[in-house]
Structures are given as C-alpha cells and as structure tokens.
Amino acid sequence: MLRDSVLGLWQVLRSMGLTLRFFFSRPVTVQYPDEPVQLYPRFRGRHQLLRYEDGPYEGLERCIGCALCAAYCPTQCIYVQAGENKDGVRRSPGERYAEIYEINLLRCMFCGYCEEACPTGAIVMRREFALADYQREKLLYTQDRLLELPTPDHRDGAAEPRAVLRDDQQVPATGSRE
C-alpha cells in the first residue's frame, strides 16, 4: 500500500514537471490568419497551367495534350482530352492541345508526379495551400481556372497566391459562400 502511494506521488510529480517544462517554452501553434505561415521550400500546393510568356509561341498554352500527367497520377485525379490544332486557330505550339483539362482536388494527394511527368513544363504546383471550399464542385478545377494567374496575397509576408476580394465584391455576413 505504501509502495502504491509512493508510485502514485512519483507519477504526479513527473507529470507536473513535464507540464512546468512546457509552460515556459514558446508556443508551437501559429495563429494562422493573423500570422503568416512559413512554408518549406519544397512545398507543393495548388496546380497551375502555364502559357508561353515570350518568343514565337507567346500567349499559347504550354500543354500539348499528351496526358502524361494523367498517366503518372497515382490517384487518377487528372482528366485530359486532347484536340487537334487547326491552322487558323492554335492553342498550343504542337499538333494537339488539351481540349479538356480537369483536376479533381478532392482526390489529389499533391505528390507532384504530374509536374515531373510534363515534358513541356506546362503544369506547376504553386505555394497556395488554403484550398478548402463549401461546395464540392468548386474543387474540380477546370482548364480556365488552372490557367488563371495567381493573385498576390493582401497580407505582408504571405507565401504566394491567394484569392483576394476586389473592391466590388462582398462576402455575405451569413457565413455562406458563393
């Protein structure tokens, strides 16, 4: 009985020592919206399709519709349907282009294989990480949404793109999102 009492007292003192040790250390929690989050250099976030910025292909999409990104994807979250370029209207420098390009972010595990597999460097993974939404349909990224240029964050020291409200946009006070 005495042994159990001493053992119980020892366990309480040991637990209190652990509590006191962490009581005086810096907190680990980051107050996310108020403080910028430090991302690792190799962080992989939201996908983006690129266009050629200069040279003879300026303004054309880099994606040639080869679907290697879809083939390499372990979760099969990428769907690519290729179309043939016509002489009058060209969307990419090759014979084909991605007529339909979709990424289902509900299935994506952000492994980066699509980025590595792309022979033209058309798909990159940005540092945007706040991708949650209230509607599942908004997490199915179409080609138009993937081609959008990222907008800079409105907070100082933020990592990279996040959507910001324009002056004419408003978020309803009820908490619902559109």
For 41-83, write each residue's pLDDT tens digit: 889 999 999 999 888 888 999 999 999 999 999 999 999 999 9
**Domain spanning 52-151 has what CATH number?**
3.30.70.3270
- Residue 152: the pLDDT is 62
* 5: enclosing H helix or E strand: helix 2-23
- Whether the predicted pLDDT of 32 surpasses 50: yes
> According to the model, what pLDDT value does residue 155 have?
39
Among 49, 17, 23, smallest CA distance to 126 is for 49
Among 11, 26, 121, residue whose Cα is nearest residue 64: 121
- DSSP 8-state assignment for residue 100: E
Q: pTM score, two decimals?
A: 0.69
Q: Residue 165 above 90 pLDDT?
A: no
Mean pLDDT, range 118-135, rounded to an integer: 91
Phi-psi region of 35 (alpha: psi -120 to 50; beta: other; left: phi over 0): beta
